[in-house]
Structure 1
Amino acid sequence: MNEQKIIIVGGGNVGLSFALLLAKQGIKSTLLEKSTYPTINPDDDTDRTHYLDTRNMALSRRTVQIYQQIGLWDELQSHACRIDTVKISEQDNFGKATLNKHEENVESFGHVIENSWLGRKLLLAVQANPLIELFDGTSVTDITQSAKNVTIFFTKQGEKEQSLTADLLVACDGQNSICRQLLGVKADFHDYEQMGIVSTVMTDQPHNHEAIERFSPTGLMAVLPLTDSTDKDGTHYRRSVVWVCKKGEEQQYLDNDEFFLQTLQKTFGERAGKFVKVGKRGAYPLVKVLAQQQVAGRCVIMGNSAHTLHPVAGQGFNLCMRDADTLAKMITQQVMRGENVGENAMLKTYEKRRKADQKRVILFCDTVVYGFTHRNPLVKVARNVGLIAFDKVPFVKPMVATFAMGLKS
């Protein structure tokens, strides 16, 4: 059989990772990205600026395993901070629960890494890989399919329209996916009417590899451990912050450092020590987007194009990575059998295989979001009793820990 062609649209963390997963198996791909990538010096490991954003990523144990398979984890680990303990509570209420790695007999519950560092290392790995052809600064204009192939049309920085024909197209181009729209695949949207504010803060106390999840009337707040650093004012300890507020209230947290720090302090108390400094902050609308189908002919919709979730519990990116890993393995098996990688029956099998894990994660995220923002006093009592039960009832913690680590999919 002639060498088969695979096109990936979307060069964010999922698209880059998927291309590397294929390359690890000796499978070539062509990757198209709308943004123009910067020139990065591979030797400059101290530069924390990047083309991405202010977010930090919580990588589950399963996602860490995937990066180990790719051979990239050693590159990522220097900027990754493990999570040994997870503490969950609700502001001004009695319920609380703790997950501890020793009790669950695991190495860790995962790691937190700066999105800028993850994206940097993925991009460098893709640029250095001869099996991946990279086109950045591209805009997809059309997609056509036949029984034998799929053709994508695009422009590149003002040049004439070009086209590429392949056996398979994988769309990883985000929650507002152009590919999904061009393929005529509808999506269900739900606006949580919330904004997620993300940043890095400094505290005066070590984080001890502890993640703190705190729920308030407005939503989730999380303080996660990051690799530490010493600044000009002395030793401070870096932590990632996710702050959820009502839409329309975000500007006060973005504009005023002192107000943001004071609000964090009031909400978290002394659990994280004293918040002494905050970095640049970004605000992101929280919207759930679910594609009504994830396979259309020879095209797969994957990553945030398929499912964009609320950031509660940090499950979205890890779910995308399990999708990417599964599809890469199925494509590899297809190649080894000498069969076409764009065969619709195989792609439909992939879609069906991933549904259970996706539904479980979506249900979990929505249950937590609605359960902890409901104002009904009886619901409030019930969820706090539930936290205590979660903390005390045997066999519940291991089940939830396994789920959160992505080890049951």
Structure 2
Amino acid sequence: MQQQVIIVGGGMVGLSLALMLAKASIAVKLLEAIKYPNYDDADLAPYHSSFDARNSALSRRSVQIYQELGLWDALQVHATPIFEVNITEQGSFGKARLKAAQEKVENFGQVIENAWLGRVLLTEVKKQPLIELIDGVQVTSLKQNKDQVYIEALRQDQCLSLQTALLIAADGRDSFCRQALGIGASEHDYDQVAIVTTVQTSKPHQHIGFERFSALGPLALLPLPGEYRRSVVWPVKKGTEHEWLGDENDQHFLDALQQTYGDRAGKFQKTGRRFSFPLSQVLAEKQAIGRVVLMGNAAHTIHPVAGQGFNLCMRDAYVLVRSLTEQLSKSDDIGEPTMLLAYEQARLSDQQRVIKFCDSVVRGFIHQNPMLKLIRNTGLIAFDMIPGVKPLVANYAMGLKA
């Protein structure tokens, strides 16, 4: 009898994981709380709670995983490669620059709008005979014993009772599954809200990504398909976000971008609708308990400052599927708790490194003390000049040294 895995949570991580499992000939039942949009127009990608206005900077490792899944050709149409990364601080002398050609790589990764990433993933999931997709379903109970995991769920007026040898909880930072299992989580509120949108500039982006640290917050400007389109992710102090939202504030927002960023992109000409997302770090105290594994934001939600969150989740998923495949090759129990604990231990080093790095960057640039600014900018210059540092950082950022 073929063993079936249940995934709770059908966002980008859940969909990607389901496709990895199906490729490994493992049957999947995927439960998603929100109804998915209908894709009637081939030229549109409607927003979903998990495929919203945000963008993902896919590392080279994430791109490789999608290539292995046979999905990259469909994704590449909506993605833009990054050939160069510039890091600066407003009003300061320090700067650092990474160039793909100098690091002898094709690019540092690809930027894709989450709405298109979600559309491509969902379309592929619906084609897979090994994946049963159930959306609009709310899990209401989760229990387990030494042999099985049992869940109950509601879909409209229908009550579902399901069981599995392995449940993967990818149901977000406020994970119901994590709470039902009694797994605690540490949380740090950064007192920031990310303003996310797309802008058009008078100068072409030339496939350059920018990280610009300012008193308002760390501004990320990344290239998008279309020579003059760029994505904006701008964490600002919580409580000030309303100043930048709403159609009536379009010009005010563009003026603030111009003042913060300068003229490197030319003139900021147009902005799309702005969306806001509160920023916090949430880390589960455990990621494997019994026959349940936490995945994605349910396991670790981190600050988007370095664009590493989704890429970290992709590496988690890839290693988990590899562990499950090895287990099945020996005809062993796919949900064996000792194996799941070994998976958790195998991933801790990579996770802790990325989490610490992102948290340190946010905390390190949040203060405007002149002495701290001097130290930061001296560090940027050192990064730009000391031999051997750039290749190491570039490999980590590309997910190739996990």
TM-score by length of 1: 0.96
Q: 3-state SS of the aligned residue for 2:34?
A: coil
1:46-125 equivalences in 2 (<5 Å): 46-51=43-48, 52-125=51-124
Match of 1:386 in 2: 379
Contact 1:87–1:210 (CA under 8 A) maintained in structure 2: yes
C-alpha deviation, 1:280, in angstroms: 1.3
Q: Distance in 1 between matches of 2:38 and 2:219?
A: 35
1:357-396 equivalences in 2 (<5 Å): 357-396=350-389
Q: Distance in 1 between matches of 2:198 and 2:346?
A: 37
Match of 1:208 in 2: 206
Q: 3-state SS of the aligned residue for 1:175?
A: coil
Match of 1:271 in 2: 264
Q: Distance in 1 between matches of 2:322 and 2:92?
A: 46
Contact 2:84–2:209 (CA under 8 A) maintained in structure 1: yes
Pair 1:45 & 2:4 matched: no
Q: 3-state SS of the aligned residue for 2:77?
A: helix
Match of 1:347 in 2: 340
Match of 1:300 in 2: 293
Residues 212-249 of structure 1: CA deviation (Å, up to 9, x unaligned) = 110012321011000007xxxxxxx1000011110000
Q: Distance in 2 between matches of 1:261 and 1:219?
A: 15
Match of 1:238 in 2: 229
C-alpha deviation, 1:25, in angstroms: 1.2
Q: Distance in 1 between matches of 2:190 and 2:301?
A: 12
Q: Distance in 2 between matches of 1:196 and 1:188?
A: 21
Q: 3-state SS of the aligned residue for 1:126?
A: helix
C-alpha deviation, 1:49, in angstroms: 2.7
C-alpha deviation, 1:380, in angstroms: 1.0
Among 213, 224, 227, the residue aligned to 2:225: 227
Q: Distance in 2 between matches of 1:48 and 1:261?
A: 25
Q: 3-state SS of the aligned residue for 1:103?
A: coil
Match of 1:24 in 2: 23
C-alpha deviation, 1:271, in angstroms: 1.3
Matched residues, number: 398
Among 177, 188, 191, the residue aligned to 2:189: 191
Amino acid at match of 2:229: R
Contact 2:2–2:26 (CA under 8 A) maintained in structure 1: no
RMSD across aligned C-alpha pairs, in angstroms?
Answer: 0.9
Residues 312-334 of structure 1: CA deviation (Å, up to 9, x unaligned) = 11000100110011101111111
Q: Which runs of 5+ in 2 are unaligned?
A: none
Q: Distance in 2 between matches of 1:348 and 1:47?
A: 42
Q: 3-state SS of the aligned residue for 2:281?
A: strand
Q: Which moved more, 1:165-174 or 1:328-337?
A: 328-337
Amino acid at match of 1:226: L
C-alpha deviation, 1:38, in angstroms: 1.8
Q: Distance in 1 between matches of 2:176 and 2:187?
A: 15
Contact 2:75–2:117 (CA under 8 A) maintained in structure 1: yes
Q: Which runs of 5+ in 1 are unaligned?
A: 230-236
Amino acid at match of 1:183: L
Q: 3-state SS of the aligned residue for 1:71?
A: coil
Q: 3-state SS of the aligned residue for 1:214?
A: strand
Q: Distance in 2 between matches of 1:272 and 1:183?
A: 49
Q: Distance in 2 between matches of 1:7 and 1:15?
A: 10
Contact 1:138–1:154 (CA under 8 A) maintained in structure 2: yes
Amino acid at match of 2:314: M
Q: Distance in 2 between matches of 1:393 and 1:122?
A: 41
Q: Which moved more, 1:237-246 or 1:374-383?
A: 374-383
Contact 1:309–1:365 (CA under 8 A) maintained in structure 2: yes
Contact 2:39–2:46 (CA under 8 A) maintained in structure 1: no
Q: Distance in 2 between matches of 1:184 and 1:12?
A: 23
Contact 1:84–1:109 (CA under 8 A) maintained in structure 2: yes
Amino acid at match of 1:95: G
Q: 3-state SS of the aligned residue for 1:388?
A: helix
C-alpha deviation, 1:404, in angstroms: 0.5
Q: 3-state SS of the aligned residue for 2:382?
A: helix
1:257-268 equivalences in 2 (<5 Å): 257-268=250-261
C-alpha deviation, 1:375, in angstroms: 2.5
C-alpha deviation, 1:210, in angstroms: 0.2
TM-score by length of 2: 0.98
Q: Distance in 1 between matches of 2:372 and 2:364?
A: 8
Match of 1:248 in 2: 239
Q: 3-state SS of the aligned residue for 1:102?
A: coil
Tell me which stretches of 4 or more aligned residues in structure 1 moved more than 6 Å. Answer: none
Contact 1:197–1:284 (CA under 8 A) maintained in structure 2: yes
Residues 351-393 of structure 1: CA deviation (Å, up to 9, x unaligned) = 0000000000011001110111123222110110000000000
Contact 1:219–1:369 (CA under 8 A) maintained in structure 2: no
C-alpha deviation, 1:50, in angstroms: 3.1
Contact 1:53–1:282 (CA under 8 A) maintained in structure 2: no
Q: 3-state SS of the aligned residue for 1:104?
A: coil
Amino acid at match of 2:104: N
Q: Distance in 1 between matches of 2:368 and 2:37?
A: 46
Q: 3-state SS of the aligned residue for 2:387?
A: coil
Q: Distance in 2 between matches of 1:403 and 1:287?
A: 23
